[in-house]
Each structure stands twice: as structure tokens, then as C-alpha cells.
């Protein structure tokens, strides 16, 4: 597996509708994970609506990949910030290198750190205003 650049749509609550649409319109093959299924704090109470929102979805369209979320990560949604780019690599050190380079003159939205789905994951907006999700593929 090599490093790849993947578009990431932040849907602000209508990801399920978008997934259904792209599945039909683009013959997308869908794998999704609902927010209520994400490992987390058992004391955290999710409303039934929140449990049905999409935490993360991958749509395979031919050889390409499109990722979506309902933007439920705790950061604030702003209209006009619908798309970010995912830089996915199998190499944790390469993810760290990308993150460090992109944050020069930019802004760290979410520090690069281990998560339940990746040994290195973070979000950074570069000096040009482009937001990247840096992801080392694989579990911690």
C-alpha cells in the first residue's frame, strides 16, 4: 500500500442521504460506521438521532475512494468547509512527516496522535486554508 490522497466530505447531518445518493448516482460500494458504534466513553449519552449519524464512511467508486462524515468530531462545522483531504499512508513516521510539514504557517485542528483506528491521526489546516486529515493506516 502506498500513500494516497482521498477527498473527505463533511455532511453536517445528512451523510446518510448523501451515501444513498452516491450509491445510486455513482454505483458506489459503501462501507460505513455509525457514530453509535464507535468505541468511546460508556458514560457518553448519545441521542437516538446521534446514534444514526455517520461517524465515518468509505465509498468505493471504481478504483477511487470517497470518505464522508456527519462532522460529529467535536469541531465546529462551518458552511463552506464541506471538503477536507485525507492523506493516508501505511507508515506512521511518514504521517508524522506530512503533519509537521503541513502545519508550518498553518493551524493544528486536532493534534497528531494515536486513536482506536490509527497509530497516528490528526487534522491540520495549511497556510493556504486547505484542511488535511493525516492518517497512518492500521490499528494502534
How far from chain centre, in Å, is Cα 32? 12
Prediction pTM value: 0.68
Beta strand 4-10 pairing with 83-89: antiparallel
Alpha carbon 95 to chain centroid, angstroms? 15
For residue range 83-122, what is the model confidence (pLDDT) as tens digits? 788 899 999 999 999 999 999 999 999 999 998 889 999 9
What is the pLDDT at residue 80? 55
Per-residue pLDDT at 76 exceeds 60: no
Phi, psi of 127 (to 5 degrees): -65, -10
Class of domain 4-136: alpha beta
Say whether 109 sits in a helix, a strand or coil: strand
Cα atoms found within 13 Å of the Cα of residue 56, Cβ hemisphere only: 8
**How far is Cα 54 from Cα 35, in angstroms, rounded to an integer?**
5
Amino acid at each position: 500500500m502506498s500513500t494516497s490522497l482521498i477527498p473527505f466530505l463533511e455532511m453536517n447531518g445528512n451523510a446518510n442521504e448523501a451515501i444513498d445518493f452516491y450509491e445510486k448516482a455513482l454505483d458506489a460500494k459503501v462501507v460505513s460506521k455509525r457514530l453509535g458504534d464507535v468505541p468511546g466513553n460508556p458514560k457518553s449519552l448519545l441521542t437516538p438521532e446521534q446514534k444514526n449519524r455517520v461517524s465515518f464512511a468509505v465509498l468505493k467508486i471504481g478504483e477511487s475512494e470517497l470518505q464522508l462524515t456527519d462532522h460529529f468530531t467535536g469541531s465546529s462545522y462551518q458552511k463552506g468547509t464541506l471538503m477536507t483531504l485525507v492523506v493516508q499512508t501505511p507508515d506512521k513516521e511518514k504521517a508524522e512527516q506530512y503533519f509537521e510539514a503541513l502545519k508550518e504557517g498553518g493551524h493544528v485542528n486536532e493534534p497528531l496522535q494515536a486513536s482506536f483506528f490509527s497509530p497516528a491521526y490528526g487534522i491540520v489546516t495549511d497556510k493556504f486554508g486547505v484542511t488535511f486529515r493525516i492518517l497512518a493506516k492500521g490499528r494502534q
